[in-house]
Amino acid sequence: MTDIRNIVVLTGAGISAESGIATFRGPGGLWEGHRVEDVCTPEALVRDPALVHRFYDLRRAALAAVEPNAAHRALARLDAHWPGELLIVTQNVDDLHERAGARRLLHMHGELRSALCARCGARTAWAGDLPPATVCDACGAPALRPDIVFFGEMPYAMERIEAALEACDLFVSIGTSGAVYPAAGFVRTARWRGAQTIELNLDPSDGSVFFHESRMGAASVLVPEWVVSVLGDA
């Protein structure tokens, strides 16, 4: 690993599974009993705002009952000790990376603990329930919605992420199915620019063939092992 300076880590729902947060497409293709189209699209928010807001209220409330696991803690240790560049890009909307102590972190699909104004775009830290038509402090419109990037919406910070991918020497993907774009394409961008690419996942993902190396197993085991291999035991 001596020639590695610049690392990008992508995480998905699988890194939080062992903390007790359900992954996206569980049995039957449902997320916590809901069809993705009913809770993860701008159309659903217009059609049934009460259902969509309630769904994310429950997800936000559930954060109080979970804790970061060994995989989140290992990435936080990497963040604290890695002397080179590091960017942890998460598709997760939970707050387990930051609660473990990670700082060089981007939530590309939004955050449960944030509210977004559909009128002015202001983002506000949020705790507790967020009923439809909650008033935005910044512009006064009754337009706050969950700060979640729905299907068809633009993920956050794509320019910064693309730049990091193009500059990295090592790209590591953890606990993601490789089914949701643009994140599923990150491995190809990084590899095309010459990075080493590793996947750590429970099962082979849709994008496994694009990685130089795939290690299969639980994130709570594989991620700490990988971080030790990069940092040493110190």
Instruction: Give catalytic residue positions.
Output: 109
Q: Are strands 105-107 and 110-117 parallel, antiparallel or unpaired?
A: unpaired
User: Phi and psi (nearest 5°) for 30?
Assistant: -100, 150
Count of residues of this chain found to bind Zn ion when the rule CB under 5 A is applied: 7
Q: Which two tokens stand for residue 92?
A: 């997760």
Per the listing, tokens 């944030």 go with: 114
Q: Which does 122 bind (CB under 5 to 8 A by kind): Zn ion, ligand NAD, none?
A: Zn ion
Nearest distance from C-beta of residue 115 to Zn ion, angstroms: 10
Whether 134 and 56 have beta carbons less than 8 Å apart is answered as: no
Positions 92 through 131 that interact with Zn ion (CB under 5 A): 117, 119-120, 122
Q: Which does 82 bind (CB under 5 to 8 A by kind): Zn ion, ligand NAD, none?
A: none
In terms of Cα–Cα distance, which of 163, 197, 202 is closest to 12?
Answer: 202
Nearest distance from C-beta of residue 71 to ligand NAD, angstroms: 7
Q: Which two tokens stand for residue 137?
A: 């402090």
- Of residues 94 and 98, the one with the C-beta less far from ligand NAD: 94
Q: Which does 207 bind (CB under 5 to 8 A by kind): Zn ion, ligand NAD, none?
A: none
- Of residues 5 and 119, the one with the C-beta less far from Zn ion: 119
* DSSP annotation string for 164-205: HHHH-SEEEEES--S-STTGGGHHHHHHHTT-EEEEEESS--
Radius of gyration of the chain (CA): 18
- Of residues 5 and 113, the one with the C-beta less far from ligand NAD: 113
In whole angstroms, what is the distance from residue 233 CA to residue 228 CA? 6
Nearest distance from C-beta of residue 4 to ligand NAD, angstroms: 22
The residue ranges that bind ligand NAD (CB under 6 A) are 12-14, 16-18, 21, 23-25, 91-94, 109, 175-177, 179-180, 201-203, 205, 218-219
In terms of Cα–Cα distance, which of 75, 79, 97, 116 is closest to 21?
Answer: 97
Nearest distance from C-beta of residue 45 to ligand NAD, angstroms: 15
Q: Which does 94 bind (CB under 5 to 8 A by kind): Zn ion, ligand NAD, none?
A: ligand NAD
Binding site for Zn ion (CB under 5 A): 117, 119-120, 122, 136, 138-139
